[in-house]
């Protein structure tokens, strides 16, 4: 606990999550950069993820309101392609973006984005897991070991993104593993391999951040002023994400929290205050017993 009080490992920038998790000699931190400006909504990533990881069906159905038939991430949906239809004029100079709208539909655009677990630098799900089922890999990713998950569900409300979930009829939690079994043998995750436009890019996180910054500059030069990065900043509320995004609108439009904060951020100070309170209580009880003993001796 002393190390947690001196340096809060549950919040703030952390340049080496794998080393903090006990991997003295480890590869570079790996992650995803999803460039939504070139996503065509094909759902190849969803299909590849389900096929490779044997993720069961999740009751897919068209709602009549959207082409989005998965609706969100969950225990049976580890990749979710969002379809956002907007009545918004499209800039004439936005040559770097395929908005997916039919020819002549100048007042409408589709925003499409493939969402996934963020593999946070400070992962609250990992912090609250009582069995060690959730663990940090040598690649800096966060993975669930279902064989020791007890189904307590503590991690579900702890996730600031609402990613992790319990499977119905099972009780255990499931989420993206960033294809731990594939990257361990030098392969890229199934979703990134299947993406036909390179919207989903996999690689060392530092390299992806540099590439993403250049892409934003390129889009700004092309007149796409709304282009911005989300989840890339190590100084944000979760210490930066292992899976971050280039967005073309506010995060809320994509169903993402605008300012995510690791929910266990204040645990060290809470433990410290609890320790002080416990010491005060014990000191008070000791004083009471001492006073009672003196009175008994005087009799």
| Binding-site positions for [4Fe-4S] cluster | 39, 42, 45, 49, 117, 120, 125, 129, 149, 152, 155, 159, 176, 179, 191, 195
| Interstrand relation of 200-204 and 30-35 (parallel, antiparallel or unpaired) | antiparallel
The residues pairing with 202 across neighbouring beta strands, listed in sequence order, are 32
Whether 246 contacts 37, CB under 8 Å = yes
Token pair recorded at residue 131 = 């069995």
d(CA 52, CA 206) in angstroms, rounded, equals: 27
Q: CB count, 10 Å around CB of 270? A: 11
d(CA 205, CA 198) in angstroms, rounded, equals: 16
Alpha helices (runs of H) in 100-259, residue ranges in sequence order: 124-128, 155-158, 180-183, 190-194, 205-221
Q: Cβ contacts of residue 230 below 8 Å, gap of 6+? A: 244, 245, 246, 247, 251, 256
Task: Find, among 108, 154, 75, 124, the residue nearest to 237 by Cα.
Answer: 124
69: left (phi over 0), alpha (psi -120 to 50) or beta: alpha
Whether 204 contacts 37, CB under 8 Å = no
Whether 32 contacts 243, CB under 8 Å = yes
Q: What is the dihedral of CA 282, 283, 289, 295, to 10 degrees?
A: -170
Binding-site positions: 39, 42, 45, 49, 117, 120, 125, 129, 149, 152, 155, 159, 176, 179, 191, 195
Token pair recorded at residue 11 = 């919040």
């Amino acid at each position: 606990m002393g190390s947690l009080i001196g340096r809060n490992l549950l919040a703030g920038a952390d340049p080496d999550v794998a080393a903090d998790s006990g991997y003295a000699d480890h590869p570079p931190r790996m992650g995803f950069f999803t460039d939504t400006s070139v996503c065509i909504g094909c759902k190849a990533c969803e299909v590849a993820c389900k096929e490779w990881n044997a993720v069961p069906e999740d009751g897919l159905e068209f709602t009549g309101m959207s082409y989005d038939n998965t609706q969100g991430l969950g225990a049976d949906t580890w990749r979710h392609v969002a379809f956002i239809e907007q009545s918004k004029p499209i800039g004439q100079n936005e040559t770097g973006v395929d908005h997916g709208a039919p020819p002549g539909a100048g007042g409408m655009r589709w925003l499409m984005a493939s969402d996934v677990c963020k593999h946070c630098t400070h992962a609250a799900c990992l912090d609250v897991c009582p069995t060690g089922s959730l663990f940090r890999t040598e690649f800096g990713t966060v993975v669930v070991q279902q064989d020791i998950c007890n189904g307590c569900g503590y991690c579900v409300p702890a996730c600031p993104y609402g990613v992790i979930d319990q499977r119905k009829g099972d009780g255990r939690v499931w989420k993206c593993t960033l294809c731990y079994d594939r990257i361990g043998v030098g392969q890229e995750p199934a979703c990134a391999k299947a993406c036909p436009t390179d919207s989903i890019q996999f690689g060392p996180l530092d390299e992806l951040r540099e590439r993403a910054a250049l892409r934003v500059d390129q889009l700004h030069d092309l007149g796409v002023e709304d282009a911005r990065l989300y989840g890339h900043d190590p100084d944000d509320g979760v210490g930066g994400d292992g899976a971050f995004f280039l967005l073309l609108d506010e995060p809320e439009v994509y169903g993402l929290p605008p300012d995510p904060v690791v929910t266990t951020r204040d645990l060290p100070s809470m433990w410290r205050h609890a320790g002080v309170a416990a010491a005060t209580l014990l000191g008070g009880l000791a004083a009471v017993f001492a006073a009672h003993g003196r009175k008994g001796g005087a009799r």
